[in-house]
A and B are shown apart, each in its own frame.
Chain A
Amino acid sequence: MKSKKLSEVAVGHSCVIDSYTDDEIKLKLMEMGCLPGEVIRIERLAPLGDPIAIEVAGYTLTVRKSEAQTVLINTID
């Protein structure tokens, strides 16, 4: 297990939320169910590479790359 940013995870891979570096994004995402310990799967990238669609807690969410950079994750393979 190695700590990385959510923006660095490749499409189709899953990871576990570790912590956040931005308070506002943290609160917004946590309210929507993205809690530390929750599994995230990178579903797809927008055609221009940004934003990202992620699957979490049974539904799909979009985040911009800049927002994903503030989410620290642990990879699982």
Chain B
Amino acid sequence: MSERKIKVALIGNPNSGKSTLFNSLTGLNQKVANFPGVTVEKHVGNFTYSDVMLGVNYNIELTDLPGTYSIYPKTLDEQIPFRVLIDKKDESHPDKVIVIADATNLKRSLFLCSQIIDLKIPVVLVLNMMDMVKEQGINIDIQKLQNALGVFVIPCVARKGEGIEDIRNAVVNNHDMLQNDFIDSRSFAPLVTDSIKYILNIDNNYTAFQIANNFEKVDLSFISNEKKKEIGKIIYQGHFTSSSMQAAETLERYKVISLLMKSCVTHKNDRQQKSFTSRLDNILTHKVWGYAIFLTILFLIFQAIFTFAQVPMDIIDGAFASLSDAVKNALPAGEINDLIVNGVLAGLGGIVIFVPQIAMLFLFIAILEDTGYMARVSFIMDKLMRKFGLNGRSVIPLISGVACAVPAILATRTIQSWKERLITIFVTPLMSCSARLPVYTLLISIVIPRDYAFGFLSMQAMVMMAMYLIGFFAAIGSALLMKWFVKARERDFFIMELPVYRSPRWKNILQTIIEKVKIFLFDAGKVIIAISVVLWFLASHGTGDSFKSTDKKLHINETNGLLTEQEVNELEAQRLEASYAGKMGKLLEPAIAPLGFDWKIGIALITSFAAREVFVGTMSTIYSVGKDNEDTATIRDKMLTEKTEVGTPRYSLATGWSLMLFYAFAMQCMSTLAVVKRETNSWKWPLLQFAYMSGLAYLSSFIVFNLLK
């Protein structure tokens, strides 16, 4: 058998069942990367097909292109299909294209298909949802359509797996199909088209016409500057106006499509299927019920992230604790042991612990997307969110941010406009995430009295709620601010299809969950472990006699175990004070003193960068309560008796509020920074975010401390 490789691209309208078909064709044999230079996910999968008659083994590489209605790019994402299809040298340029069409909406799907037909890349047209077509009493004459278009037309039902083998067969079939010109694309501007063909030495009219149309709008980096100049001149001299040319082309295509529809498609009865969707929409987009149902669903998601995910999180926590102990005891005591246990394993544990929450959040998001409900959420929330520079689709990420900013930021991919997506990414970490909860709990128990307003409203609970509200208003306010500073890369539209409701396709949902977890573990994970090791080094190493002598005493104790627990705790506190982290804390003190913080809090601020909840553990070590004892009551008592140099309580109301506000606003989360870096594809945004949030934290802590002092 001889081997043959074929590159195939899959393209189609949004909601046409593209990902279902992609999953059916490639199974689990796929990987996700980014298209070069942009943060658009590129899904590539492989499948094989053996032609026994010819003795050829085909290896097909399938690239899933972002969903689009036309190859004219409107958004940055849509530039991908354009570039991949037009530039013959692009690494993803296909030998063949599978166009998937929602057969219940054939007219619109044929528009995209006809454009690719005219690019003269061999097309296989897949008509999906043929079961729905029958249900609606529509009859499509496949043979007639195939003859008219001159390409293979394969009916299928992707979600039931019907017709998949026929598609595989058609993809490798070399039987010559005519693939005639769908329209005469030279006729719109013969001179310009011919000249571009000549300059670029290409023979396809429609490719030349596309280049002329997108010349000013799209980055055509595959054309040399010299040739670009020539083309620019021709477009100018030929008075070529892209908008009227595109409009003329669109009209011409739909004219031909209408004739085609008349001869190939017959309706038996008027469509009835929309009534179910329409009736459901009467409730789901209702003034009262619409919002009530949405809030209920949100509550359910919250409940799942906060409580259901807790079980697997505790298991992971326990597993890492026992793993740490096992490694600690198995390896000889010393530097390497410490590095692995307190550096690498601690960092790894800090990553894996997020997996249940991420999986849980994306289970819900994928279901909401897949059923078509998410489009309704955008529909009912758009007007409200737009006032803040956000979008209807920003709602879910913002609210998920209360659990954890990491999955929330991954969820912003559903926002199409770059500006609105960026603003959402930027402000989401201001929502009070679950890692802030232990910090708030500890500080509130120290500085807020256990009193009740009006005899029943707990002051402590009200302050806790205030912290969440402060986070929310900071996010909304910052969005408003960002609205003026971020330039839109493209004009923002809210022209979006409201798809008919469908039951979720569990395979797709599972695929989404696996993908998001993978991205988090492998992409963000690398950065998190690196920072975790650095933090470990700073907290466990130091110079000077004080560090060396305490370090030595602790090492001796590890072998003979003569010291009492209290003595070990005190030594560990001393060692931390003398370590690099301790030195940095002291170095930081002059800068944070105006906020009411001392060097001990300084150390906690530094170590909190690994994750905010580390605050409690660090405080335990500093106040020599013992690392393993994270019981809030003990630390609280220690912190309550702590005095400043002048003898007043260190944790006064002023310092308490100042510290809480600092934790509410400061960007102390390396996982979030790593994810923002990945999602925006640059260090610019995470660094700006870090600076902005730290500045906001410092300023508000400073103000509140000096007001309450």
B489 at the interface (CB under 8 A from A): no
A8 at the interface (CB under 8 A from B): no
B435: shortest Cβ distance to chain A, in Å? Answer: 34
Contact A32 B108 (CB under 8 A): yes
B271 CB–A CB distance under 8 Å: yes
CB within 8 A of B494: which of A31, A48, A49, A62? A62
A10 at the interface (CB under 8 A from B): no
CA distance A31 to B107 in the complex (A): 11
Asked if A25 and B493 make an inter-chain contact with CB atoms under 8 angstroms apart, the answer reads yes
Range of interface residues on A (Cβ < 8 Å) = 20 to 34
Question: Do B247 and A26 have beta carbons less than 8 Å apart?
Answer: yes
Of A27, A35, A44, which contacts B281 at CB under 8 A? A44
B487 at the interface (CB under 8 A from A): no
A-B contacts, 10 listed (Cβ < 8 Å): A23-B243, A26-B247, A27-B243, A46-B380, A47-B285, A49-B383, A59-B108, A60-B274, A62-B495, A62-B497
Q: Are B251 and A35 in contact (CB under 8 A)?
A: yes
B494 contacts across to A, CB distance below 8 A: 51, 62-64, 67
Docked pose: A55 CA to B172 CA in angstroms:
39
| Secondary structure dominating the interface of A | mixed
Complex Cα–Cα for A75 and B68 (A)? 31
Given contacts A32-B495, A60-B497, 12 further A-B contacts (CB under 8 A): A31-B72, A43-B278, A46-B383, A47-B291, A48-B383, A51-B382, A53-B379, A57-B108, A58-B105, A61-B497, A64-B382, A67-B494
Q: Are B111 and A33 neighbours in the complex by a CB distance under 8 Å?
A: yes
- Determine the chain A residues whose CB is within 8 A of the CB of B271 once the complex forms: 58
- Chain B residues with CB under 8 Å of A44's CB are 281-282, 285
By Cβ-Cβ distance, the 4 closest A-B pairs, closest first, are: A23-B243, A60-B498, A31-B70, A48-B383
Question: Which residues from chain A contact B67 at a C-beta distance below 8 Å?
Answer: none
Q: Is B69 an interface residue (CB 8 A)?
A: yes
Q: Chain B residues with Cβ under 8 A from A62's Cβ?
A: 375, 378-379, 494-498
Query: How many B residues touch A, CB cutoff 8 Å?
Result: 41
B246 within 8 A of A: yes
Chain A residues near B380: list those with CB within 8 A: 46-48
Asked whether B74 lies within 8 Å of A28 as measured between CB atoms, the reply is: yes
**A59–B105 CA distance with the chains assembled, in angstroms:** 8
Give residues 90-127 of B contacting A (CB, 8 Å): 104-105, 107-108, 111
How near does chain B come to A20, taking the closest CB pair, in angstroms?
A: 9
Chain A contacts of B69 at CB under 8 A? 31-32
Q: In the complex, how many angstroms separate the beta carbon of B252 from the nearest chain A beta carbon?
A: 11
**Are B111 and A61 in contact (CB-based, < 8 A)?**
no
Q: Which residues of B contact A49 (CB under 8 A)?
A: 383
Contact of B291 with A67 in the complex, beta carbons under 8 Å: no
- CB-based contact A61/B108 at 8 Å: no
Provide the residues of chain A in CB contact with B281, threshold 8 Å: 44, 53
Closest to B243 in A: A23
Chain A residues whose C-beta falls within 8 Å of the C-beta of B287 in the assembled complex: 47
Q: Which of A25, A35, A43, A47 makes the CB contact (< 8 A) with B495?
A: A25
Q: Given that A58-B105, A67-B493 are contacting pairs, would A31 and B382 also be in contact in the complex, using a CB cutoff of 8 Å?
A: no
A30 close to B247 (CB less than 8 A): yes
